Chains A and B, each alone.
Chain A
Amino acid sequence: MRAAWAIARNDLAQLLAQPVAAIVTVAVPINFLILFVLFAVGGGVVPVTVRAAGHGPATAAFVHALRNSYTFDVQPVATAAQAARAIASQNSVASIALPRNVGAAHSTIAVTIDNLNADFADDIRRALPLAVTQFYRGVLPLQWREVDSYPATATFLGFIAVSIQTVALLIGGLLQGGLGVAREWEGGTIKELLLAPVPGWSVVAGKLLAAFLGALAGALLVLVALLLLGVRPHAWAEYAGVMVLVLIVFACLGVGIGSALRSRQTVFPLAFGVGLPLFFISGPFGAITWGTPAAAWAARIFPVVYANAAFQHAAYGIWTLDTSVGASWAILAGWTLLGLLASVWLYRRATVAH
């Protein structure tokens, strides 16, 4: 075990000796968080201009309905030219022109939509009927009552930010594990490790420990950022438990990948190439069962989806997966064991070939 500890210390010292590489690899997960903050900020509200011909209570009531449609960021404008300029300069994506007699029989609302894509345009098309029904709510022949599953709804940013904790562990573990092992082959120092009078497993253990600690630094950075964003896990023990388990899995897989590829230049794109798709298919925006069956099927193979569900549970007390809590933890534990075995097997296989 002393040898493992020495190898881990050496790896961490090497990481610190290359400050640019260290900062970039440790900061990669936090970069993801920043990038997805932008994504969430962008997807939040739809900027529209509203030009009202009248100023009566009906107009005020309709503008109020637009503002309460969970969709629009209403920017009042006085002329059609201003509305057109706002669209042309990409400051708004639609202009809504309210007639003087809004709400009277046969009144027409003219809407110009910058239909950049079907998803964005449909949000606007669907929000207008919501505003209209709110405006007419008192005279509609039917009503509806919304029953939410949970007393509070997480913000979009808060929800996806929790999943980014998993990405931090995934990319951090793969990078730290993979780069640490690949470096030995590229620098030729693997020979020295092989000739050293220490058992092979202690080399793997040392590499794993270094990868674990290196990736933990990035994951903790993400956690601090989540706290600053207002995410407050209500089950800290569960949060810490899933963090440790998942980090072991990906550090192990990183060591295995590094042994198999023996090239730092290949480990880096692989960590990104694997991390991003797994993030997107593993339920960062909702339940995987609401999406494409093929994506849900693929997501179930990997541990990311179970880690995401466990993090959401620890953070918000909601369970976002159709696999039970116990079964999900069992799968994560199974992946940990598999990861450990894979790292040892791939390292041994690589060194035998060497």
Chain B
Amino acid sequence: MWALIKKDLAIWVRSPAVMAVTLLPPLALLLVLALQAVAVTSYPVAIVNEDPRGAAAATLVRTAEAYNGFRTQLLSPADAQAAYANLQVAAILTIPPGFSADLAAGRRPSLTWAVRNFNADSTDDLRRALPDVVTSFLATGAAGADPIGIAIREQDVHPHDAGLVAFEMVGMLAMLMLQAGLINAGLAAVKEWETGSVKELLISPVPALRLIAGKVVAGVVAADLAGVVVTGLTVAFGLLPTPTLTQGLIALAAMTLLASFGAGIGVALAAALRSGDRMNPVAINASFYLFFLSGGVVALAYLPAWLRAVARVIPNTYAVSALRQTLLYGSTAGTGTDMLWLAVAAAVGLVVGVPALRRGLAH
């Protein structure tokens, strides 16, 4: 069996195409999410202050400039309109002439909030932002006594907010593990049919079960190698914090179990499809679906109820949960349940895959 594992791993290392199939989609997604992270957390906004001498207006400008949802530019009305027309800014906040005097006199001046309403998502982000700025402005006392009597006391579940890219990265790590398990074990099996070497395997005195175990273990080890490299790189680049030994081992176990599930399904697909051309698209599509269905880019709670029910039977969900706890939030809480479900999923994958490939070899 060891010889088979070594042979399949050697083929994997020397197959840039297989490595590309495994690594390229998740790495490409990571790259673009990193590039887009700025765009989803803040918007470019022009501020036009038509009350340049007013103290309250100056305070409002400072408040808006300090707001973490904006990347502001203080512009003249003409420049702001030009920037808005050229899509350099998503919105214009105009402070009217006499704003400070009107505030002092209790005349309730009106700000103008011009919004480029391309779609409901970005528009709602901007609609939420201005009231946030206004409440911060009122709290400064620049508009007189703050009429807002409500205080908000926030308590967070996790000690710190994870970064958006790191959050997405962990979901993609799970996708990578599943895809790597599927493709590495599946393609290793398919190759035997494509090259005709399946005959040699069949006439060898090695039991079929051992042959299959060799393929599965090689697929899982190759997936683990890819997972460890990607995790190591993300830690090295500061996207993820350095895990403790326990957290690292739990994360590795979660990755291994998910890859085992993938390898089991991979060899089952190989027995059914017997061609790399069919195997690749099916495996890539399957891992993408499972990634999104398990809340990979969002979180389970944001999905509709029926989709949450679907996600609860997908192993990715538990792998993502265990990986987020250990690699993102520095905790091991709840990982026992996740590992249990992953172990069940791995067992199911192997129970499905091994007999299927055994039957395939027998034919």
Footprint of B on A, CB under 8 Å?
18, 20-21, 24-25, 28, 31, 34-35, 38-39, 41-47, 69-71, 87, 90-93, 102-123, 125-130, 132-136, 139-150, 153-156, 158-160, 179, 263-266, 268-270, 272-274, 276-277, 279-281, 285-287, 289-292, 294-295, 298, 312, 318, 320-322
Q: How far is the CA of A276 from the CA of B175 in the complex (A)?
A: 15
Contact of B36 among A272, A274, A291 (CB under 8 A): A291
CB of B192, distance to nearest CB on chain A (Å): 16
B188 CB-CB contact with A under 8 Å? no
Residues of A within 8 A of B285 (CB): 24, 28, 31
Task: With A35-B292, A147-B112 as known contacts, state yes or no: A140 contacts B161, CB within 8 Å.
Answer: no
Q: Give the nearest-CB partner of B278 in chain A.
A: A20
Contact of B33 among A20, A265, A280 (CB under 8 A): A280
CB of A98, distance to nearest CB on chain B (Å): 9
Q: Are A290 and B44 in contact (CB under 8 A)?
A: yes
16 new A-B contacts, CB < 8 A, other than A24-B285, A93-B299, A159-B121, are A38-B293, A108-B152, A111-B153, A111-B155, A119-B40, A122-B68, A122-B69, A130-B128, A130-B131, A140-B147, A144-B112, A149-B115, A156-B120, A272-B284, A287-B87, A295-B35
CB of A100, distance to nearest CB on chain B (Å): 13
Majority DSSP secondary structure for residues of B touching A: helix
Task: With A117-B161, A273-B28, A276-B29 as known contacts, state yes or no: A322 contacts B88, CB within 8 Å.
Answer: yes
Q: How far is the CA of A131 from the CA of B273 in the complex (A)?
A: 55
B202 CB-CB contact with A under 8 Å? no
Residues of A within 8 A of B273 (CB): 20
Q: Give the nearest-CB partner of A69 in chain B.
A: B128
Q: How far is the CA of A333 from the CA of B114 in the complex (A)?
A: 35
Q: Are B155 and A102 in contact (CB under 8 A)?
A: no
Q: Are A105 and B149 in contact (CB under 8 A)?
A: yes
Task: With A35-B288, A118-B163 as known contacts, state yes or no: A144 contacts B36, CB within 8 Å.
Answer: no
Q: How far is the CA of A149 from the CA of B117 in the complex (A)?
A: 6
The B118-137 residues at the A interface (CB cut-off 8 A) are: 118-125, 127-132, 134-136
Q: Are B122 and A21 in contact (CB under 8 A)?
A: no
Contact of B153 among A38, A45, A108, A263 (CB under 8 A): A108
Number of A-B contacts (CB under 8 A): 341
Q: Are A268 and B90 in contact (CB under 8 A)?
A: no
CB of B332, distance to nearest CB on chain A (Å): 16
Shortest 9 CB-CB distances between A and B: which pairs? A291-B39, A42-B298, A159-B119, A280-B32, A273-B24, A117-B167, A70-B124, A156-B121, A118-B161
Residues of B within 8 A of A44 (CB): 121, 302
Residues of B within 8 A of A298 (CB): 35
Q: List 20 A-B contacts (CB under 8 A).
A: A20-B273, A20-B278, A69-B128, A115-B156, A116-B167, A119-B164, A139-B147, A140-B138, A140-B147, A142-B134, A146-B113, A146-B127, A148-B117, A148-B123, A269-B280, A277-B32, A280-B33, A285-B121, A291-B35, A292-B38
Task: With A21-B278, A91-B308, A145-B111 as known contacts, state yes or no: A273 contacts B20, CB within 8 Å.
Answer: yes
Footprint of A on B, CB under 8 Å?
16-18, 20-21, 24-25, 27-29, 31-33, 35-41, 43-44, 68-69, 86-88, 90, 99, 103, 106, 108-125, 127-132, 134-136, 138, 143-144, 147-158, 160-164, 166-167, 273, 276-278, 280-282, 284-285, 288-289, 292-293, 295, 297-304, 307-308, 324
CB of B166, distance to nearest CB on chain A (Å): 7
Q: Are A291 and B38 in contact (CB under 8 A)?
A: yes
CB of A347, distance to nearest CB on chain B (Å): 21
Residues of B within 8 A of A70 (CB): 124, 127-128
Q: How far is the CA of A141 from the CA of B123 in the complex (A)?
A: 25
Q: Are A153 and B117 in contact (CB under 8 A)?
A: yes
Contact of A43 among B144, B161, B302 (CB under 8 A): B302
Q: How far is the CA of A102 from the CA of B151 in the complex (A)?
A: 10
Task: With A41-B304, A265-B21, A277-B32 as known contacts, state yes or no: A116 contacts B162, CB within 8 Å.
Answer: yes
Q: Are A109 and B152 in contact (CB under 8 A)?
A: yes
Residues of B within 8 A of A322 (CB): 86-88
Q: Are A286 and B90 in contact (CB under 8 A)?
A: yes
Q: Give the nearest-CB partner of A25 in chain B.
A: B281
